[in-house]
Structure 1
Amino acid sequence: RHRRRLRILYRRSAESQASTRVVDPYGIVAKSGRWYLVADDQGDSRLLALERLSAFEQLDAPAVLQPGETLHTRWAVLKKRTEEQDRVSVTIPTPLHYAVDG
């Protein structure tokens, strides 16, 4: 809301320990019953699950957001990316037919 950088303590889903990162926040969104922080982390846009954020500190530095980008535009890109990750391609082999003598 204040367009300031945040220092956060965040645990990624694949990690057991939280790490400190400095992010540039666009805002907060809800998806499938979960809340996420939409932020740039080292220049890459990320969805950070609030349930895995254990601490935060607002810094004096202004957030460095991508030119022309807003919460709405970043959310649209991230939402599409996460929904495409759920697609799974399955190949089922043709059933084999065995002759049984007998």
Structure 2
Amino acid sequence: MKVIRSKTFTASRPWGALDIANMSGTTVRLHWTDQPYKWHVNDGEEVFAVLDGVVDMHYREGGAEHVAVLEAGDVFFAGVGCEHVAHPRGEARILVVEREGSV
């Protein structure tokens, strides 16, 4: 049994993570960041839930770049092949559920 207080979690570097669970190859990780990630495509599907802060999620669809503003409580689903990058506005805490070893 674990209780994680996400609002108090910090990491020593941007996108540092606390591993919460690994369920048959699917990982659940809590990330802290104050810097953008990098453009990437995951090896599978990804669920990206903002727990604290605001994140501009840039994604490419049909050759065009779009931005979704995600606030605390919002969830972004990146399907297979979805190219995306997260840009936090200040500090953010994000719960990510994805295939183990994904980018």
Which structure ranks higher in relative contact order (CA pairs < 8 Å, sequence separation ≥ 6)? 2
Q: Decide which structure has greater strand share.
A: 2
TM-score by length of 2: 0.26
Q: Decide which structure has greater helix share.
A: 1
